[in-house]
Amino acid sequence: MHTSKHDVLVIGGGIIGLVTAWRAAQRGLSTAVADPAPGGGAAHVAAGMLAAVTELQYGEQTLLDLNLASAARYPDFTAELSAATGLDTGYRRCGTLAVALDADDRAQLRDLHAFQTSLGLEAQWLSGRDCRRLEPLLAPGVRGGLRVEGDHQVDPRRLAAALLRAAELAGVRLLRSAVARVECAADRVTGAVLADGTVVAAGRTVLAAGSESGRIAGVPADVLPPVRPVKGQILRLRIPPTHAPFLSRTVRAVVRGSHVYLVPRENGELVLGATSEEFGWDTTVTAGGVYELLRDAHELVPGITELPLTETLAGLRPASPDNAPLLGRTALDGLLLATGHHRNGVLLTPVTGDVMAEVLTSDTGELPAYAGAFGAQRFAAARQEQTV
C-alpha cells in the first residue's frame, strides 16, 4: 500500500481540476491530482466557444458577470500557459456570428439582442445580406444575425494538454487512478483512498470530478454536490485546404428553434455541436443526435456535407440546479468543490483557477467578492429541508 501526503488533493484531472491544482501549486501548496486519465473529461469533447455574450441566457445575469470576468482573463491566461509550457492552446480572437434562419428564429435573436443591449453588452445587428458578406458560405435563407466581436474560442484539448503540463512543471503530483472513496475522520475529510490502493492524506480535498462529482463514495449524502450530467453530442469535420477558408469565425444559429454552432479552428478542424440531453450518464452517440446536428448545420451552411467527418463523440456537462458553478468550502471541513460549470466549463477555467487559489490560500477560506454568488453551499439549506 502506497501512501502520499499533500496540502491539497484534487479529485478529477479535467480542466477545472488541473487549473485548480496548477494555481494551488504556484502558491506553494503541495498538490496532487487523482484521475486515471488526466487531461480528459468533458473538455475532450467540448468545442471551446468562449461565448459569454452570444450564449447569454435569461435569468443568468449574475453568471454573466463571472463569464465576462473569465473571458477577460483569457489572453493573459493562455499567454502564461504557453510561456510556461511551450504549448499552444489554440486561443483565437475570431469573434462570433449568431444567425437566424426563419422568422421565428429571427424574432428570438432580436429578443436576445434587446436583452444584451439592456445589459450594456456589445452586439451588432446585421441583415441577412451583411451576415453573408462576412461569411459567404451561409445559406441564402439566413434572415439576420448578431455580430459579437468579443466572443472568441480556444481548443479545449490543447488547453487541457497545456494545463496538464503546466501542473506537472509546477510540481503537481499526478496520481493516475480513480478515487475509491473519500476518507472522513472526526467530521472532516482527510483525503481519499484510490482504486489502486494508494492512501492519499490531504489537508484539503477539492472535488472537481465534473458530472461524477455528485456520486463520489465516502462523501455524506447531504454534502454531495447537486450536479447532474447533461449529455452533449458533437461532431468533428475537417476542412481540406481546397475548401479553406470555410468560415472565418464561430457561427451559432437558431435553426427552426434548435441551436447549433460551428467552431472553425486555424488547423482546419471544424467542430459542430451540440445536443443537450438529460439521460443520466449515457455517452452513446446516436443516429438521431448526429442527424439533427447535420440537418441543422446543412440548412445553415449547405457546403458542410462535402467535408470529411472525422469524429463523433458525446460528453457530459456537469450541471448544478442553477447551471452555475459550485465553488469553495462545503459544510464538511476539509472538503471543497469546483464543479457544476455546465455549458461554461471552458470559459470559466481561468477565473475558477483564481477563485480556488484564493480560497485555498486565504486565512478565512472565503470566496473572493466577485465569486460570492457561486458558493458551494448555496443549495445545502434547501436539500436539508427536503430530507427532513
The residues that touch ligand GLY, with contacts defined as CB under 6 A, are 49, 55, 232, 273-274, 317, 343
Alpha helices in the chain (DSSP H): 15-26, 61-85, 103-118, 128-134, 156-169, 287-300, 349-361, 380-387
Q: How far is the CB of 317 from ligand GLY (least distance, A)?
A: 6
Chain residue at closest Cβ approach to ligand GLY: 343
| Closer Cβ to ligand GLY, 199 or 313, answer by number | 313
Q: How far is the CB of 329 from ligand GLY (least distance, A)?
A: 27
CA dihedral for 163, 168, 171, 172, sign (positive or negative): positive
Whether 155 and 114 have beta carbons less than 8 Å apart is answered as no
CA dihedral for 361, 363, 366, 368, sign (positive or negative): negative
| Closer Cβ to ligand GLY, 128 or 273, answer by number | 273
What is the CA angle 213-214-216, rounded to 5?
A: 70
Q: How far is the CB of 59 from ligand GLY (least distance, A)?
A: 17
Alpha helices in 101-194 (DSSP H): 103-118, 128-134, 156-169
Whether 313 and 45 have beta carbons less than 8 Å apart is answered as yes
H-run or E-run covering 319? strand 309-319
| Closer Cβ to ligand GLY, 13 or 156, answer by number | 156
Q: How far is the CB of 154 from ligand GLY (least distance, A)?
A: 12
| Closer Cβ to ligand GLY, 31 or 74, answer by number | 74
Q: How far is the CB of 184 from ligand GLY (least distance, A)?
A: 34
Q: Pick the closest to residue 264 from 46, 42, 45, 47 (CA basis).
A: 47
| Closer Cβ to ligand GLY, 232 or 328, answer by number | 232
| Closer Cβ to ligand GLY, 90 or 191, answer by number | 90
Q: How far is the CB of 344 from ligand GLY (least distance, A)?
A: 6
